[in-house]
Chains A and B, each alone.
Chain A
Amino acid sequence: GAVVSQHPSRVICKSGTSVKIECRSLDFQATTMFWYRQFPKKSLMLMATSNEGSKATYEQGVEKDKFLINHASLTLSTLTVTSAHPEDSSFYICSADYGGSSYEQYFGPGTRLTVT
């Protein structure tokens, strides 16, 4: 149980285009999902917290107009990187809050974005 999928696993796009990444909780409902990114040799860094039916909360330094997050259902959150630039090339990974008192978050396998 507690499986999170992420699609696509790898994407290459041209500078100036937009890319959408999907995060799905397959066997549980997640009121809250999280988006992280990881640059080479760095830690996973939280970008934003996505709550179903409401606006996402962005961490300091993360542009909300550039990284659009939509959490329209209890099993799906999407991250759209708009007008991508080479410096947005990174590893993006989502997690879903399992809920209850377990404090557990379950992660997708991540998406490698390369902007050329």
Chain B
Amino acid sequence: ILNVEQSPQSLHVQEGDSTNFTCSFPSSNFYALHWYRWETAKSPEALFVMTLNGDEKKKGRISATLNTKEGYSYLYIKGSQPEDSATYLCAFTNSGYALNFGKGTSLLVTP
């Protein structure tokens, strides 16, 4: 079992605030780092897959960075909206297949 830690566990922000979460993972034998957005009763939605140290990816107001040497990734949300409320999961793989998940960061954005 590969230890993946996410922080904070939960976060409550006001609409319009920008926020960020952290995912830390083993820095050895890195293959890929995934971010998912998971709303209750729905399928986890793939946000990003990052494979190279220094990768930065962006999707609308959401962006992510990757540091494989020190074993962390940040997810940023700019100008949070209530529809951003969800659990954000990161998952590390050293094989390209089996994903090792963190417990997630639960985000609540209130108007």
| Interface of B, helix, strand, loop or mixed by DSSP | loop
Minimum CB–CB distance from B69 to chain A (whole Å) comes to: 20
State whether the Cβ of B109 lies closer than 8 Å to any Cβ in chain A: no
Minimum CB–CB distance from A81 to chain B (whole Å) comes to: 21
Stretch in A13-21, A69-77, A82-90, A106-114 with 4+ CB within 8 Å of B: A106-114
Pair B98/A46 contact, Cβ less than 8 Å: yes
Q: Knowing A107-B43, A108-B43, say if A34 contacts B49 (CB, 8 Å).
A: no
Pair B99/A105 contact, Cβ less than 8 Å: yes
Contacts of A59 in B (CB 8 A): 98
We find that the number of chain B residues with CB closer than 8 angstroms to chain A is 25
Pair A105/B43 contact, Cβ less than 8 Å: no
Pair B34/A105 contact, Cβ less than 8 Å: yes
State whether the Cβ of A32 lies closer than 8 Å to any Cβ in chain B: yes
Distance between Cα atoms of A107 and B34 in the complex (Å): 13
Contacts of B4 in A (CB 8 A): 43
State whether the Cβ of A54 lies closer than 8 Å to any Cβ in chain B: no
A interface residues with partner B (beta carbon < 8 Å): 2, 4, 9, 32, 34, 36, 41-46, 49, 59, 93, 95, 97, 102-110
